[in-house]
Structure 1
Amino acid sequence: MEKKEHTIHEHEAGERIDKVLSTLNNEWSRTQVQQWVKEGNVLVNGEKVKPNYKCILNDKMIIHIEEDEELKVIPEKMNLDIYFEDQDCIVVNKPRGMVVHPAPGHPRGTLINGVLEHCHSLSNINDGLRPGVVHRIDKDTSGLLMIAKTDFAHEKLVKQLIEKTVIRKYKAVVHGVIPHDYGTIDAPIGRDPKDRQRMAVIDDGKHAVTHFAVLKRFKEFTFVECQLETGRTHQIRVHMKYIGYPLAGDPKYGPRKTLSIEGQVLHAGILGFHHPRTGEYLQFEAPLPNEFRQIIKMLENNY
């Protein structure tokens, strides 16, 4: 049994406990968290609570997680949205709400479970729970990922990420109306010293650069495209909050009053890289998912 502890911060006060817990770890689904609470594996100030419990500032939470005796990636049959595949790599469009790879607390139903069933073999450079994973996107972010089938491809693709030659463009809806058409956010990112479960712009953080362009303005929101120059954890979410335009629906970095949606409105729509073996430049574009398009339509009609 693994034990995690968390103290409720100001931005979490008033939120449901299942919502708060599901934001602490990208691999914890809200359904899984609700089950832990129902089973009494989550205590608040030493007491059992219900999944709809509203958190209070400074509540002390203890989460007990049943550890699998042997956590490993089990192939699972899924309907994958594949954009490219050959003997070296595969490009997949990950749906919103799906975790990229297994982890304690979320051993099944991840993208890698499905890709492993489809491919049968992936690169072994990472630990056993992340075969083939070259880069990741958050659970509630949809979009394109490149996954390595061989160690050779994995090393070549990681090198491109380090050298910043991979093109990664995201579309997002943010709070507020951005007045300028383009911008660049160059601000270092690291663990938030006030809340270790979040990232923040801090002086001694890692170099991080995000470019953005306004696609459309609404009354209280802006539709933007962001391009990553670096790839820090939660980079777009942290950077847009830093300049005063947090992502709509973001439970970790956004305001409480937001659009009626679970998780940030963010889609990794364009992915471009050089093929690890041939050197040919490949670029793929995944359209906005239906839920995202409905939000844009709602904003056009109501805002």
Structure 2
Amino acid sequence: MISNGTAIHELLVDPDDAGARLDAYIARVLQIPRTLASSLCKDSQVQVNGRTISKSLRIKVGDQLVVTIPPQADPLEIKVEKVEELKIIADDDDYVVIDKPVGVAAHPSPGWVGPTVVGALMAEGYNITTSGAAERQGIVHRLDVGTSGLMVVAKTERAYTELKRAFKERTPKKIYHAVVQGLPDPLQGTIDAPIGRHPGHDWKFAVLDGGRDSVTHYKVIEAFGRASLVEVHLETGRTHQIRVHFSAFGHPCVGDQTYGADPKLGAALGLTRQWLHAKRLGFSHPVSGQWVEYESEYPADLDGAVELLREGGY
């Protein structure tokens, strides 16, 4: 809930999160920097079961949290700063394709004080179209803060209009790779289940009757025993779609504790986020109409986790 620029989040601690530090839990579920979560605790902006608590608290199952994030001087101001890990995959006259690292948001939003794609591109001297909301210049689709991989950003007004239309009409090809727990059965299939905001958690989504239509196609690429590498083709693009669908399917993304992943497996593989990567992106060029396609390699943390799985013992 947001009132007068102040964001108020009501959270309920699940069994998988029992024993976590309060500030670490808040940072993960709200996808905000750990330093901000710690500051909120220190500044009496966090209540647990109706009482203001310090950041060192270990939370318990059933604890009810209320987290208040006051507005910044300008919460949607674009913070221009370089992101060394952000890679330029293609620099066209009309768009730029980037390889977004984990921990970077697509654009500014209330409560987010970390780096953004928009700000990083500005810091590199890119002239991005001013089409769209001021804080979302050039953004035609998004990736979660905790998801890495390919994004296309419009540089011209024509590109923004054409790419925005294309994503609305679902014509681009979006291929993700994910490592999910267990072995999906069948090995190739489609998850067609509506997604809506979780009724008990304002920061989560769930498969719900009456939710928005959501379709995910997948096939298993490699099986490791406790986990499997899958290729995912999104027909729709709902928030957290892959994470929600595979969790509902009984195979959450490894490392994704928000949606029920085993924390011990994620820790053993060295993961601090969900194993999910936007691997390939294809679309019609917004001016010429020619089909273009780009691919991204796994970042070090995801690649390392796969190698550990291949070595066995998990």
Answer whether TM exceeds 0.5 for this pair: yes
CA distance change for structure 1 residues 273 and 5 in 2, over 3 Å: closer, same or farther? closer
Match of residue 161 from structure 1: 167
Between 1:291-300 and 1:80-89, the stretch displaced more is 80-89
Distance 2:24 2:189 in 1: 32
Q: Is the 8 A contact 1:23 1:251 kept in 2?
A: no
Letter in 1 for 2:296: A
Query: Aligned pair 1:75/2:66, yes or no?
Result: no
Distance 1:236 1:19 in 2: 24
Query: Aligned pair 1:173/2:179, yes or no?
Result: yes
Q: Is the 8 A contact 2:33 2:113 kept in 1?
A: no
Distance 2:50 2:202 in 1: 22
RMSD between aligned residues: 2.0
2:293 corresponds to which of 283, 286, 291: 283
Match of residue 297 from structure 1: 307
Match of residue 231 from structure 1: 237
1:35 corresponds to which of 16, 32, 39: 39
Q: Is the 8 A contact 1:3 1:62 kept in 2?
A: no
Query: Aligned pair 1:151/2:157, yes or no?
Result: yes
Letter in 2 for 1:263: R
Identity %: 34
Match of residue 127 from structure 1: 133
Query: Aligned pair 1:142/2:148, yes or no?
Result: yes
Distance 2:307 2:286 in 1: 39
Q: What's the TM-score, normalizing by structure 1?
A: 0.92
Q: Is the 8 A contact 1:209 1:228 kept in 2?
A: yes
Q: Is the 8 A contact 1:78 1:114 kept in 2?
A: yes
Residue deviations 1:250-295 (CA, integer Å, cap 9, x gap): 0210234331121101010101111101111110000111111111
Q: Is the 8 A contact 2:13 2:59 kept in 1?
A: no
Between 1:34-43 and 1:192-201, the stretch displaced more is 34-43
Q: Is the 8 A contact 1:144 1:269 kept in 2?
A: yes
Letter in 2 for 1:173: V
Letter in 2 for 1:288: Y
CA distance change for structure 1 residues 97 and 7 in 2, over 3 Å: closer, same or farther? closer
Between 1:40-49 and 1:77-86, the stretch displaced more is 40-49
Distance 1:4 1:31 in 2: 18
Distance 2:127 2:182 in 1: 45
Residue deviations 1:55-80 (CA, integer Å, cap 9, x gap): 22443323232322223113223333
CA distance change for structure 1 residues 121 and 243 in 2, over 3 Å: closer, same or farther? same
2:24 corresponds to which of 19, 27, 32: 19
- Please report how far the alpha carbon of residue 47 of structure 1 lies from its aligned counterpart in structure 2 after TM superposition: 3.5
Q: Is the 8 A contact 2:105 2:116 kept in 1?
A: yes
Q: Is the 8 A contact 1:134 1:148 kept in 2?
A: yes
Distance 1:82 1:254 in 2: 33
Match of residue 57 from structure 2: 53
Distance 1:67 1:274 in 2: 39
Letter in 1 for 2:118: I
2:283 corresponds to which of 268, 273, 276: 273
Q: Is the 8 A contact 1:98 1:109 kept in 2?
A: yes
